[in-house]
Amino acid sequence: MRIATWNVNSITARLPRLLAWLESSGTDVLCLQEAKTTSDAFPAAELRELGYECAVNATGRWNGVAVISRAGLEDVVVGLPGGPDYEGVQEPRAISATCGPVRVWSVYVPNGREVGHDHYAYKLRWLEALNTAVAQDAAGERPFAVLGDFNIAPTDEDVWDPSLFEGATHVTPAERAALAALRDAGLSDVVPRPLKYDRPYTYWDYRLLGFPKNKGMRIDLVYGNGPFAAAVKDSYVDREERKGKGASDHAPVVVDLDV
């Protein structure tokens, strides 16, 4: 079973590439982030033609998440139970579903903007709510994983130049402690380094030739429970999909399971 996570940075802009990638990669379940559309406008019909069902949590603007599956789609939970509001709105940043033998969450963790900003405090509250929401599934015997754009680089090795990120979001002790809390709940990072590259980044800024110069970050993560981690047979970052015209600024992260 092949499961992936991908921040597509607008499914409307990326739809031809997404459809082609699903066909060529043989992905069974895709956790998608930053749809930048509404649930009604989500291209479910085009995906259905390829044999995929869709569970979507999207209201337009900058967020939006989905689970796209050809392995079944049951017990869908839209949103983050107990999650905080931001400026009075429950943002569409989480959705979960059971896909055959595996249960997954697709998450788009708040960016945080700047340390000390209200959005940074919101990010930490959101991560605390995520930890609470996934605890039962994490402790279960069914393979379970939280996949998505966490907007956190787990270690200094996960950014191209740590000195440039001092005092910035994505690398602060508080954010990394939130990831450690997920590990304490029984989830672990199942995409190990070095993979096929010394620095397997998943995001490169469009500006200043970020991708050609490999000035990236590893912020798209797969955190699985013990049964999920035990089933992992291979994992990789599909850097090829970051290349060329019309690419997202994130690459897909792919995990193969024996389930």
Q: Which of 28, 120, 137, 149 is catalytic?
A: 149
d(CA 10, CA 147): 18
Q: The CATH number of 2-257 is which of 2.70.70.10, 3.40.50.10880, 3.40.30.10, 3.60.10.10? A: 3.60.10.10
Give whole-number Cα distances, 147 to 30, 32, 96, 215, 222, in Å: 9, 9, 10, 23, 5
> Is there a catalytic annotation at residue 108?
yes
Q: Which of 52, 108, 122, 201 is catalytic?
A: 108
3-state secondary structure 77-108: EECCCCCCCECCECCCCEEEEEECCEEEEEEE
d(CA 173, CA 152): 10
DSSP string, the chain: -EEEEEE-S-HHHHHHHHHHHHHHHT-SEEEEE---SBTTTS-HHHHHHTT-EEEEE-BSTT--EEEEESS--EEEEES-TTPPPBTTB--S-EEEEEETTEEEEEEE-----STTSHHHHHHHHHHHHHHHHHHHHHTSSS-EEEEEE-S--SSGGGBS-GGGGTTSTTS-HHHHHHHHHHHHTT-EE-S-SSTTSSS---EE-TGGGTTTTT-EE--EEEEE-HHHHHHEEEEEE-GGGGSSTT--SB--EEEEE--
State the Cα torsion 204-1-257-46 to the nearest 10°: 20
Q: Which residues are annotated as a binding site for Mg(2+)?
A: 7, 34, 149, 151, 249-250
Q: Which residues are annotated as a binding site?
A: 7, 34, 149, 151, 249-250
In this predicted structure, what is the pLDDT of residue 208?
86
Asked if the model's pLDDT at residue 196 lies above 80, the reply is: no
Average pLDDT over residues 195-202: 70
CB atoms within 10 A of CB 223: 27
Q: Tokens for 52?
A: 């995929």
In this predicted structure, what is the pLDDT of residue 162?
93
In this predicted structure, what is the pLDDT of residue 197?
57
Asked if the model's pLDDT at residue 194 lies above 60, the reply is: no
d(CA 166, CA 128): 23
Average pLDDT over residues 74-89: 97
Q: 63 with 34: CB under 8 angstroms?
A: yes
Radius of gyration of the chain (CA): 17
> Is there a catalytic annotation at residue 197?
no
For the stretch 217-244, pLDDT in tens is 999 999 999 999 999 999 999 999 999 9
> Is there a catalytic annotation at residue 236?
no
For the stretch 148-172, pLDDT in tens is 999 999 999 999 999 999 999 999 9
Asked if the model's pLDDT at residue 195 lies above 60, the reply is: no
In one-letter notation, the amino acid at residue 56 is V
pTM: 0.96
Backbone angles phi, psi at 249, to 5 degrees: -85, 0
Is the sign of the CA dihedral 189, 190, 194, 196 positive or negative? negative
